[in-house]
Amino acid sequence: MTHPLLDLAPLSAAHFASIEDRVARLLRTEQDVVITQGEALLPLEGAIRATAGPGTTALNVITGPYGQTFGDWLRDCGATVIDLPVPFHTAVTAEQVRGAFAEHPEIDFVSLVHAEAATGNTNPVAEIGEVVRAHGALFYLDAVASIGAEPVLPDAWGVDLCVIGAQKAMGGPAGVSAVSVSERAWARMAANPRAPRRSYLSLLDWKERWIDGGRKALLHAPAQLEMLALEACVERIEAVGLEEVMARHASAAAATRAGALALGGGLEPYVREAADAAPVATTLRVPSGTVAADLVARALAADPALPLAAGGGALAEEMIRVNHYGPDATPGAVRASLAALGTALAAEGLTVDVEAALNAVEKAWR
Ligand X SMILES: *Cc1c(COP(=O)(O)O)cnc(C)c1O
Binding site for ligand X (CB under 6 A): 39-40, 66, 113, 116-118, 142, 144-145, 165, 167-168
Nearer to ligand X, 121 or 251 (CB): 121
Nearer to ligand X, 125 or 357 (CB): 125
Nearer to ligand X, 280 or 364 (CB): 280
Provide, rounded to whole angstroms, the least separation between the CB of residue 87 and ligand X: 17
- Stated as kind and residue range, the H or E segment containing 201 is none
Nearer to ligand X, 177 or 290 (CB): 177
Three-point CA angle 13, 227, 172, nearest 5°: 155
Residue 334 CA to residue 332 CA, distance in Å, equals 5
Provide, rounded to whole angstroms, the least separation between the CB of residue 351 and ligand X: 34
The residue number with the shortest CB distance to ligand X is 145
Residue 259, Ramachandran bin (φ over 0: left; ψ between -120 and 50: alpha; else beta): alpha
Nearer to ligand X, 210 or 270 (CB): 270
Nearer to ligand X, 290 or 323 (CB): 323
Provide, rounded to whole angstroms, the least separation between the CB of residue 206 and ligand X: 20
Residue 183 CA to residue 201 CA, distance in Å, equals 19
**Any known ligand binding at 215?**
no
What sign has the CA pseudo-torsion 299, 305, 308, 309? Answer: positive
Q: Which residues contact 51 (CB under 8 A, 6 or more apart)?
A: 109, 138, 140, 161, 185, 188, 189, 192, 195
Provide, rounded to whole angstroms, the least separation between the CB of residue 144 and ligand X: 4
Provide, rounded to whole angstroms, the least separation between the CB of residue 119 and ligand X: 9
> How many C-beta atoms surround the C-beta of residue 5 within 10 A?
8
> How many C-beta atoms surround the C-beta of residue 224 within 10 A?
15
Provide, rounded to whole angstroms, the least separation between the CB of residue 281 and ligand X: 8
Q: Where are the alpha helices (DSSP H) in the chain?
A: 13-26, 41-51, 65-76, 94-103, 125-134, 154-157, 183-190, 203-206, 224-240, 242-263, 292-302, 331-347, 354-364
List the binding residues for substrate: 321
Please enumerate, by residue number, every residue annotated as part of a binding site. Answer: 321
